[in-house]
Structure 1
């Protein structure tokens, strides 16, 4: 059964897209990234391999000051956004703003994250060390695992800057491949493509303008404008509302090779689980069956797949939804393997 993802407005899907947009993956590189930057680069850049350029990109995404505009396309949907990023005294600040359609912004000040919606509604996300999933998607990726291969593909020119091209190729059918264009001088990711098994680009990210100022005025990260009344709300990063069996613990019997749970240890009452292989991420949502749940089946917008299925255990019906950047068959196998620990 094919579901039109664009017409769905369920709580499950909204939670999944929020996680994918501004939450998931952050713990992978917000914690411990500094340790990896003790990495010893070869003295001559002409001797750098793909791994060296990837590590250079990871460092630049955090430690560079930059501002610019970029296009992001996913399937038939596309958006233009602006980004301002500052690194000063070990602290990151960032402002990500949507430039077309409805107004929307995400502002990060260290580990404090605020989402600004139309009508100046501000939602502060609780306990989330955000890094945006557009410009910093690859920061948590650690090569050397068997499920991806790194290949250096020469140089190309993007927005008047020389770029080194790196391919991250999936070694199985459980994940996608990627192609990256990295600023040769500064290390920032200027373009990326997410590619399926048929070598079709499902998503594209590309800067149309970028600059690297030495200093950025910190006031550009202020959320509260003069004279504006802004409502602040606190939301949790995971909604654990479920009307039955709150003492249950859950297990996933099928996981693709290389995926690990990144949102803590299994515990009672946990009905949101997030898994990552260091690059791709998917979330599992478990809830009781009601009229607001997604119908069974799969759909895809760009690389984002949503697959839902119903299960019944001891007279209780529960609904599992997997949302993430994985092939539909992978999402289906994961969703059907979710079981309560009895």
Structure 2
């Protein structure tokens, strides 16, 4: 659940391997998606856990074919995109077209991401660890989400023509935001999601304004679109998997609940450690934080400070001869904890 550009899903796909945030496992075997989590045939339904509900949401996103228009609002900013999603059981594909702001199309097939910008005739081709559907969620290695969030069911409401269970996911501390999620009753697909601040106020919302489930989306049609790059300049950013320790960084003290998920640098992999921009991604299972560290440049890095757009906050500080930008859908205090804990090993 995650950064706002023209559309939050596009921003995640292009700028935040939010997850690289890793995918969920399936909830259950045959027929599970047509049930409320915890339902048992012929008896009283067991109370569903938060993890069961999150498994259901993510499993529905991965398994359903659908077409929809969704709207993202953050503060005074609003954007819309059209999405086509299909999965044949082994492979997933998505097409996302921006309907507001700069025209662009993002096509994703498993870990391959291609973003076409018609105005500049530029296409960005990248590899991602996983295809992250709507909504964007992660499961951390320890799967400790329930140590940091609680779940309350609020009833049933109608969204985009579908009845949906309303879930209130509340944080147990002030280091993370809360969420309200509307899960379509029959399939589990998320049709609406709100991010809530510490006072319970909505600071960001994404919702399907129209949705067609089990839509006739064809895998081969999207694959052919992904191959049509004639007339575009293809840019392939050079990303190198690494570890923070190899680049000379560590956290002096862990930020409660957040685990390191991935890290990579951009540029020549033979460059000296610490000389390339590095991104280090953390997650607590729902929220994520990215630490972007690069060599200090007096011409570009002029002012430390903080900013926000909707649920996304950022913090920039100088760390000796390096410049840190901490960014995530977390309260500002969480970013400050990361900044104060990050230290240079050499």
TM range (shorter): 0.7 to 0.9
1:180-195 matches, within 5 Å, as 180-195=181-196
Match of 2:136 in 1: 137
1:212 to 2:209 alignment? no
Q: Is the 8 A contact 2:27 2:56 kept in 1?
A: no
Match of 1:293 in 2: 301
1:76-87 matches, within 5 Å, as 76-87=76-87
1:282 to 2:276 alignment? no
- Cα root mean square deviation, aligned: 3.2
Using the TM superposition, give the Cα deviation of residue 294 of structure 1 relative to its aligned residue in structure 2, in angstroms: 5.9
Aligned match for 1:319, one of 302, 318, 323: 323
Pair 298,19 (structure 1): closer, same or farther in 2 beyond 3 Å: farther
Match of 1:331 in 2: 335
Output the CA distance in 1 between the equivalents of 2:226 and 2:56: 35
Output the CA distance in 2 between the equivalents of 1:294 and 1:325: 24
Q: Is the 8 A contact 1:113 1:129 kept in 2?
A: no
Output the CA distance in 2 between the equivalents of 1:227 and 1:19: 19
Using the TM superposition, give the Cα deviation of residue 19 of structure 1 relative to its aligned residue in structure 2, in angstroms: 6.5
Q: Is the 8 A contact 2:175 2:331 kept in 1?
A: yes
Output the CA distance in 2 between the equivalents of 1:227 and 1:113: 13
Match of 1:14 in 2: none
- For normalisation by structure 2, the TM-score amounts to 0.80
Output the CA distance in 1 between the equivalents of 2:177 and 2:240: 26
1:1-342 matches, within 5 Å, as 23-29=17-23, 33-34=24-25, 37=28, 41-44=38-41, 47=45, 49=48, 51=50, 52-119=52-119, 120-132=121-133, 135-138=134-137, 140=139, 145-213=146-214, 215-218=216-219, 219-223=221-225, 228-237=230-239, 248-263=247-262, 268-269=273-274, 271-290=278-297, 291-293=299-301, 295-312=303-320, 317-342=321-346
Q: Is the 8 A contact 2:114 2:226 kept in 1?
A: no
- For normalisation by structure 1, the TM-score amounts to 0.81
Q: Is the 8 A contact 1:25 1:140 kept in 2?
A: no
- Give per-residue Cα distances to partners, 1:149-180, cap 9 Å, x unaligned: 11111111112211001111011011100000
Output the CA distance in 2 between the equivalents of 1:227 and 1:124: 11
**Which runs of no fewer than 5 residues in structure 2 stay unpaired?**
5-10, 266-271
Output the CA distance in 1 between the equivalents of 2:199 and 2:229: 53
**Which runs of no fewer than 5 residues in structure 1 stay unpaired?**
7-16, 241-245
* Count of aligned residue pairs for this structure pair: 314
Pair 98,252 (structure 1): closer, same or farther in 2 beyond 3 Å: same
Match of 1:10 in 2: none
Q: Is the 8 A contact 2:123 2:232 kept in 1?
A: yes
Output the CA distance in 1 between the equivalents of 2:240 and 2:264: 14
